[in-house]
Amino acid sequence: CMSEEKNLTYLVDTVDVPVESGYQVKITGRSPIGVFKLGDNFYAIDDTCTHGNFSLCEGLIFDGQVECSLHAGAFDIRTGAATDLPCVIPLKTYPVTVKDGKVYADIDNAE
Ligand code: FES
């Protein structure tokens, strides 16, 4: 991995991330990020579906994936891969750090 120093941005408290869907974080000057929880792990991915302009945090989580509510496409929350049509373009994912009950991500360094 990169040895560069991470530039961590606070996203949300761990207790505020729902289990069944994502938590949308609006960030000035860029598209929003979705924080998702799978088991004990947290993931930060682009919140905007790559098929249309729709928030994935409005969709439901199933099998480690999030289903877009607009046309029922889906993405793997861990990798950002598009897993169901009509979605074909992957989402960007961001390295997450959890510390003292807070979720941070390096939002300038998509993986
Ligand atoms: Fe998400 Fe079409 S906008 S599947």
Q: Write the single-letter amino acid at 18.
A: P
* Mean of the per-residue pLDDT values of the chain: 94
Separation of CA 97 and ligand 1 centre (Å) = 28
Separation of CA 47 and ligand 1 centre (Å) = 11
Strand duo 23-25 + 33-38: pairing: antiparallel
Which mutation among 54, 56, 66 tests ligand 1's pocket best, with the greatest number of atoms within 8 A of CB? 54
pLDDT tens for 56-103 read 999 999 999 999 999 999 999 999 999 999 999 999 999 999 999 999
Contact 97/104 with Cβ under 8 angstroms?
Answer: yes
- pLDDT at residue 2, as a whole number: 52
User: Using a 6 Å cutoff on CB, does residue 82 contact ligand 1?
Assistant: no
Separation of CA 86 and ligand 1 centre (Å) = 7
- pLDDT at residue 4, as a whole number: 59
| E strand map for 1-111 | 9-13, 23-25, 33-38, 41-46, 60-62, 65-67, 74-76, 82-84, 93-94, 96-99, 102-105
| Structure confidence at residue 3 as a pLDDT band (50, 70, 90) | low
Separation of CA 100 and ligand 1 centre (Å) = 35
Answer yes or no: is pLDDT of 33 > 70: yes
- Relative to the CA of 52, which ligand 1 atom is closest? 3
- pLDDT at residue 93, as a whole number: 98
